[in-house]
Amino acid sequence: MEISDHESNMQVLKDVSSNFISTFCGDMFSFALGLMLLRATGMSLSFGLSMIIMPIVTLIGLVPIGNVVDTYPHERILIISLVVRIVALSVYAATVGRFTGVGKLIPTIGCLIINYASVNLSNSGYLASVHELVNDAHIQKLNSLSQSSASFASTFSPIVAAGLYALVGFNLFIIFQLMAHLIALGILLTMNLHYVHPNQVSKAPQESQWAKFKLGLDYLMTQAFLRYLICIALFLNFIFAVINVGLPYIVVEHLHLGNVTLGILNSADALGMLIGNLVISVSPELRHLAKILTITMIIIGTGLMGVGTLLMVAFDKLMVQLVGSLMLFSVGMSLAFMNTPFGIYMQKTVPTELMGRVSSTEMSLNMMSISLGTVFYSFIFQLIPNGSVFIVSGIILVAVTGLTMPSFMHIQMPTSDQDPKRADLQHR
């Protein structure tokens, strides 16, 4: 069944609204949870608990989540996933008050494990259901506006959470999160998913979970450009840890420029991603995919070199705030033109019946690369606490782009009236 432009626009509006509410309240809850645990336990681990649990849960769920998404109707998966999160959070709200001190980690870890398993299932199910929500002409708008709403929510939610926490305490944030889940569930129930490729239980029940999952890996092995994109995404996530780890360490601890300066720089990066995705949402269909990715990666690498140079030569707070913000704004905007087209390309080329396994693999590998990058750069900045680490990372990124991208420069994004499977075969 063909999805009309009007219905596609309505689905985009619902999806963006749900994504904004979920991200905004979810980020506020995570911020408040970290503050609560920090006060209760006195452990610096409080704010890093998610970064420990998330990769472990993602790795364990890699095979079963991909298989489930490609086996059962996506709408059912998304609904069940949300209901599980609502139940888990309700149980957490009823039990966390019974624990004190370090003991609060017990219900918190249990809740986070269930939450991240459910989120991974929802994310894979969502990626696989895009063709069931909108027609191909609206995939770019859906991706870019969803990313924009998430960027906007992530930018301002910590500010709101910090102000509210001092006034209302942690328990109200649990209520906010529950309300967000219920609203998201209500919106989901009004959305109409058209099953382009009806998912059915496998006709070979004796087939092992690994054998089913391996079909997705076999598909990836035949797609040279898609494999390259995933490898570049892993490399970029690893490299980008230089900002997540190095910026707070150098700006606050080494240069003593204050939390306000760090907040301005982080907001500039998030604002760049927001503006970039808004630009994509109103742009014609992206066509020259490899050229776009090449330009964005060079800008990101150059931006990292610029930030590193600035942190080495400029100790004036205002200069770091102004010039650094411009550089990180360009990096954030370039990331939007990297992430969103990559997602669009996957949704336009990967067969729907394999999307769960392919997306689950890609998300799991990305999570691992972020964690490894965080550990690596944490060690490096202990040895070399200055901007030279940014400069070297930027040079490596530009060099890798120049050495690997030219062979794929002819690759273009499939158009909305092009058969995704036929387009994909052309890139093998």
319 and 174, same structural domain? no
Identify whether residues 232 and 145 lie together within a single domain.
Answer: no
pLDDT at residue 199, as a whole number: 45
Q: Which of 404 and 50 is assigned the larger pLDDT?
A: 404
Assess contact for 345 and 213: CB atoms under 8 A.
no
For residues 45-65, average pLDDT:
79
Q: Which of 171, 184, 187, 189 is nearest to 90 (CA)?
A: 171
Among 405, 151, 146, 419, CA closest to 288 = 405
Is 225 in the same domain as 192? no
Interhelix angle 209-221/62-69, rounded to 10 degrees, is: 80
CA distances from 428 to 222, 289, 305, 346, 355 (A): 6, 16, 35, 14, 17
pLDDT at position 288 = 80
Inter-axis angle of helices 352-383 and 62-69, nearest 10 = 150
- Say which range, 116-120, 211-215, 331-335, 392-396, has the weakest mean pLDDT: 211-215
**Any idea what the CATH number is for the domain that residue 133 is in?**
1.20.1250.20
> Is there a single domain that holds both residue 83 and residue 23?
yes
Picking from 152, 167, 196, the residue at the C-terminal end of a domain is 196
Residue 209 lies in a domain: no
Find the mean pLDDT for residues 257-264. Answer: 78
Q: To 10 degrees, the CA torsion angle through 393, 399, 402, 405?
A: -60
67 and 10 both lie in a single domain: yes
Across residues 98-116, what is the average pLDDT? 91
Instruction: Give pLDDT, residue 89.
Output: 95
Residue that finishes a domain, picked among 167, 196, 225 = 196
Q: Is residue 334 part of a domain?
A: yes
Residues 14 and 56 in one domain: yes
Query: Residue 207 domain-assigned?
Result: no
For 147-160, what is the mean pLDDT? 79
Q: Provide, rounded to the nearest whole percent, the portion of the chain with pLDDT above 90.
A: 24
In a domain? residue 211: no
Is the predicted pLDDT of residue 111 greater than 90, yes or no? yes
Instruction: Identify the pLDDT of residue 204.
Output: 45
Regarding whether 272 and 174 lie in a shared domain, the answer is no
- 161 and 231 assigned to the same domain: no
Render pLDDT for 376-416 as a digit per residue (tens, 0 to 9).
Answer: 888 888 888 888 999 999 999 999 998 888 877 777 777 65
Q: What is the average pLDDT value for the chain, to the nearest integer?
A: 84
Structural domain range at position 191: 5-196
Residue 426's pLDDT band (cuts 50, 70, 90): very low
pTM (two decimals): 0.77
Range 336-350 average pLDDT: 85
In a domain, 204, yes or no: no
Compute the radius of gyration of the chain from its Cα atoms.
22
Q: What is the pLDDT of residue 202?
A: 43
Highest mean pLDDT (candidates 139-153, 171-185, 272-286, 346-360): 171-185
Model confidence at 421: pLDDT above 50: no
Domain annotation covers residue 359: yes
Residue with tokens 């014609």: 284
pLDDT digits (tens, 9 = 90+) for 177-209: 999 999 999 999 999 887 655 444 444 455 677
Nearest to 402 by CA among 232, 184, 178: 232
- Three-class secondary structure assignment of the chain: CCCCHHHHHHHHHHHHHHHHHHHHHHHHHHHHHHHHHHHHHCCHHHHHHHHHHHHHHHHHCHHHHHHHHCCCCHHHHHHHHHHHHHHHHHHHHHHHHHCCHHHHHHHHHHHHHHHHHHHHHHHHHHHHHHHHHCCHHHHHHHHHHHHHHHHHHHHHHHHHHHHHHHHHCCHHHHHHHHHHHHHHHHHHHHCCCCCCCCCCCCCCCCCCHHHHHHHHHHHHHCCHHHHHHHHHHHHHHHHHHHHHHHHHHHHHHHCCCHHHHHHHHHHHHHHHHHHHHHHHHHCCCCCCHHHHHHHHHHHHHHHHHHHHHHHHHCCCHHHHHHHHHHHHHHHHHHHHHHHHHHHHHHHHHCCHHHHHHHHHHHHHHHHHHHHHHHHHHHHHHHHCCCCHHHHHHHHHHHHHHHHHHHHHCCCCCCCCCCCHHHHHHCCC
As for how many domains the chain has, the answer is 2
Q: Residue 341: is its pLDDT beyond 80?
A: yes
- Residue 74 counted as domain residue: yes
Same-domain pairing of 242 and 153: no
163 and 51 assigned to the same domain: yes
The per-residue pLDDT for range 10-35, each reduced to its tens digit, is: 999 999 999 889 888 988 898 888 88
Q: Is residue 146 part of a domain?
A: yes
Do 251 and 159 share a domain, yes or no? no
Residue 196: predicted pLDDT? 55
**307 and 276 housed in the same domain:** yes
pLDDT digits (tens, 9 = 90+) for 281-299: 888 877 788 888 899 999 9
